[in-house]
Structure 1
Amino acid sequence: MKNFKGTFTALATPFKDDKIDYKSLDRLLKQQLEGGVDGFVVNGTTAESPTLTSAEVAELYKHIRSFVGASVPLVVGTGSNSTAKTIEDSQKAEQWGADALLVVVPYYNKPPQRGLVEHFKKVASSVKIPTILYNVPGRTITSLSTESILELSKTPGVVGIKEASGKVDFDAEIAHVCGSNFVLLSGDDGTYVEFLGVGGHGVISVASHVIPKQMVQWKKWVAEGQITQARQDIQKYMKLIDLLFTEANPIPVKKALQLMGIFESATMRLPLMELTPVHTEALKTEMHNLGLL
């Protein structure tokens, strides 16, 4: 099993003429690897997964794997609010050669905790590769409880969680009850350093598209006992991180990547739309202030 305690970028998907723009994607992958990230999530929310076809996801995975090689961990987002569909997509990802699955809490149909536990157990038992839980109540409404996470941490195949509530006290509680072998990844860039301070092991990030080296450095500093330095440094980027979430992710980050010349276009697939001119100007100004443009 590959190491998932690191800095992972939840890759955005560039489009051109409503098709995946692989030239822009290659520029992004090159920039990310040079920035020191440890791995990638393919077909996460940031990839606009709700609007990608099954064929496009398979093609994306194949292209990214070919570009990064066998040693870079690739985690594939396979979650949905149907257990049967999640199992089907998870088994496909396993066949492609994915290193792990990222499985979101089922959204919209609001299952009870016992349903969530059973959902993840069924998915994990359907494959031989690791399953990473994804708790993001801001998008799913329903949230995994500490008790459910603890039970699932003892389930064969479930190796960790991407926790995106932004509640550091909750993160600390998970770290305490599940122990250090259970991989705890942040899904909230703004609280990342504090997350590391309470026992977190890494991140699945949006901001790492723009500041990969800094995200990697913060983890290194905390590991070396220099959390104060990491706290001071992340403050320099807090306005940028806030601006990357002024509209629904990945609207702002795709605009940032276009401003950086990495993506040719910031085009979104409906119902998402490009960042508004007002927010674009604010983002551009802050990126200039930080020397990113």
Structure 2
Amino acid sequence: MKNFKGTFTALLTPFKNGKIDFGSIDRLVKHQLANGVDGFVINGTTAESPTLTETEKVELFKYVRKMVGDKVPLIMGTGSNDTAKTIEDSKKAESLGADAILVVVPYYNKPPQRGLYEHFKAVASSVKIPTILYNVPGRTITSLATETIRDLSKVPGIIGIKEATGKVDFAEEIIKACGKEFVMLSGDDGTYVEFLGVGGHGVISVATHVIPKQMAQWKAWAAEGAMDKARQDIAKYNDLINLLFVEANPIPVKKAVQLMGLIDSAEMRLPLVELGEEHSAKLKAEMTKVGVLA
């Protein structure tokens, strides 16, 4: 099993004239790897997974896998609010060669905790590759409870969680309940350094598209016990990180990487639309201020 305690980018999907822009993916992925990112999530929320076709998901995964080879871990987002569909997609991910699956809490239909337990257990049991839970109540409404995560951590195949509430005390609860080997990945860039401070292992990040070297450095400093250094450094980027979420992800980050010249277009698929002029101007100014743009 590959090491998932690292810095992962929730890879966005560049579009041009309605189609995936693979040339831009090439530049983007190379830039990430050159600046310390350990691996990628394919077909996550940041990839605009709700509007990718089944064919596009396969093409996207195969293209990135061919680029990065077998040593770089690739996690495939397979979650939905239908357990049977999630199992089907998870099996497809396994057959494609994904190193793990990322499975979001079922959205919209609001299952109780016992339903969440049975959902994740059924999905994890359907594949041989590792399953990573994804808790993001800001998008799903329903949240995993500490006790449910503890029980799921004992299910074979479930190795960790992407915890995106931004509540560091909740992350600390999970670590105490599940033990230090249960992989703890932050899903909230703004609180990432504090997450590392309570024992977190890494991140599945949006901001790594823009500041990959810095995100990797914070983890290294935390491992060395240099938390003050990490706290001082992230403070320089707080405004930038906030601007990356000023509208629904991945609207702002697409504009940011377009400004960096890493992708040709900030094109979105409806119902998402490109970042407005006012926010774009603020984002550009902040990127210039922190040195991301010359």
User: Would the TM-score normalized by the shorter structure come out above 0.5?
Assistant: yes
Which string of whole-angstrom CA distances, capped at 9 and with x for unpartnered residues, describes residues 70-102 of structure 1? Answer: 000000000000000000000000000000000
**Distance between the aligned counterparts of 1:291 and 1:90, measured in 2?**
40
In the alignment, what sits opposite 2:28? 28
In the alignment, what sits opposite 1:110? 110
In the alignment, what sits opposite 1:271? 271
In the alignment, what sits opposite 1:180? 180
Amino acid at match of 2:199: G
- 1:187 shift after superposition: 0.1
In the alignment, what sits opposite 1:170? 170
**Distance between the aligned counterparts of 1:58 and 1:126, measured in 2?**
19
In the alignment, what sits opposite 1:201? 201
Amino acid at match of 1:188: D
**Distance between the aligned counterparts of 1:17 and 1:165, measured in 2?**
35
**Distance between the aligned counterparts of 1:109 and 1:199, measured in 2?**
33
**Distance between the aligned counterparts of 1:102 and 1:89, measured in 2?**
11
SS at match of 2:165: coil
- 1:271 shift after superposition: 0.1
Aligned-residue sequence identity (percent) comes to 74
SS at match of 1:284: helix
In the alignment, what sits opposite 2:17? 17
Q: Provide TM-score, normalisation by structure 2.
A: 0.99
In the alignment, what sits opposite 1:257? 257
**Distance between the aligned counterparts of 2:5 and 2:35, measured in 1?**
17
Which string of whole-angstrom CA distances, capped at 9 and with x for unpartnered residues, describes residues 167-192 of structure 1? Answer: 00000000111111100000000000
**Distance between the aligned counterparts of 2:258 and 2:106, measured in 1?**
32
**Distance between the aligned counterparts of 2:78 and 2:190, measured in 1?**
25
Cα RMSD between the aligned structures?
0.3
In the alignment, what sits opposite 2:212? 212
SS at match of 1:132: strand
**Distance between the aligned counterparts of 2:11 and 2:128, measured in 1?**
24
| 1:154 pairs with 2:154 | yes
In the alignment, what sits opposite 1:69? 69
| 1:239 pairs with 2:239 | yes
Which string of whole-angstrom CA distances, capped at 9 and with x for unpartnered residues, describes residues 5-41 of structure 1? Answer: 0000000000001000000000000100001110000
**Distance between the aligned counterparts of 1:123 and 1:283, measured in 2?**
39
**Distance between the aligned counterparts of 2:16 and 2:275, measured in 1?**
16
SS at match of 1:236: helix
**Distance between the aligned counterparts of 1:15 and 1:51, measured in 2?**
12
**Distance between the aligned counterparts of 1:130 and 1:157, measured in 2?**
5
Which string of whole-angstrom CA distances, capped at 9 and with x for unpartnered residues, describes residues 192-225 of structure 1? Answer: 0000011100000000000000000000000000
Give runs of aligned pairs for residues 46-57 of structure 1, distance below 5 A: 46-57=46-57
**Distance between the aligned counterparts of 2:122 and 2:177, measured in 1?**
23
Amino acid at match of 1:20: I
- 1:283 shift after superposition: 0.1
Query: Unaligned 5+ residue runs, structure 1?
Result: none
**Distance between the aligned counterparts of 1:68 and 1:214, measured in 2?**
21
Amino acid at match of 1:144: L
- 1:291 shift after superposition: 1.1
- 1:44 shift after superposition: 0.2
In the alignment, what sits opposite 2:129? 129
Amino acid at match of 1:42: I
In the alignment, what sits opposite 1:222? 222
SS at match of 1:94: helix
In the alignment, what sits opposite 1:81? 81
Query: Unaligned 5+ residue runs, structure 2?
Result: none
Amino acid at match of 1:45: T
Amino acid at match of 1:77: G
